[in-house]
Structure 1
Amino acid sequence: MNIETAAKALKELGHPTRLAIYKQVVRAGEKGIAVGVIQESLSIPGSTLSHHLSGLISAGLLRQQRESRTLFCIAEYQTLDAVIDFLKAECCVDEK
């Protein structure tokens, strides 16, 4: 992962509402969580939720999948792992 990609992911997660959304999606596991459930639990308007989801999707942190009439958000765990690995990669390198 390069620094620009990591910075974009961290920027998206740096907003309290997006972080709350992402935590819900991560907790939901591989099956994901319906957009309506996220909206209801956070009590935010659909247009606001859509805006925040768009940012998380563009950063590669989640994807959406439609099943019939329900749209699910699913975490891209490999991206999350890559961001964490990027942050830890040089841990203690300069320690003497």
Structure 2
Amino acid sequence: MTLDNDDIVARKLTALAHPIRLAAIRRLAAAGPVGLAAGRLAERLDVAPSALTFHLQKLAAAGLVESHREGQFVYYRAVFDALLALTDHLVGACCSESEERCGPRCPTSRDR
């Protein structure tokens, strides 16, 4: 997935622009592709389940999380392709127009 449209990127960043949503993304990323049950995630974040549902819906609408139902439980997982595309859009071309590198993690340093 590529993010060529700055409006799409802004929508995804807007969805992340809340401490609970950032914490949820970090927990879901840590959980890996299996994800977490919504109730377990709410416990770990110390957030009311109804409040967490609101935040997870914002992240889902932005394409950053997905959900699926297993019996009575709803599981959420991070959409890693979308998250990686977002970070790549933000810093993937760092220093590409500069003679200097920003540091050892510079993604364009391997091209030099």
Instruction: Please give the TM-score of this superposition, normalised by the length of structure 2.
Output: 0.79
- Greater relative contact order (CA < 8 Å, ≥ 6 in sequence): 1
1:21 to 24, 35, 38: 24
Percent identity of equivalent pairs: 34
Distance of 1:32 and 1:40 partners within structure 2: 14
1:11 to 14, 37, 45: 14
Runs of 4+ residues over 3 Å off in structure 1: none
Between structure 1 and structure 2, the one with the greater Rg is 2
Residues 1:54 and 2:42 are matched in the alignment:
no
Give the counterpart letter for 1:47 in structure 2.
S
Q: 2:110 maps to which residue?
A: none
Q: CA deviation at 1:54?
A: 0.7
Q: CA deviation at 1:14?
A: 2.0
Instruction: Please give the TM-score of this superposition, normalised by the length of structure 1.
Output: 0.91
Which runs of 5 or more residues in structure 1 are unaligned?
A: none
Q: What secondary structure sits across from 1:8 in the alignment?
A: helix
Q: 2:80 maps to which residue?
A: 77
Equivalenced residue count is 96
Q: CA RMSD in A?
A: 1.3
Q: What secondary structure sits across from 2:41 in the alignment?
A: helix
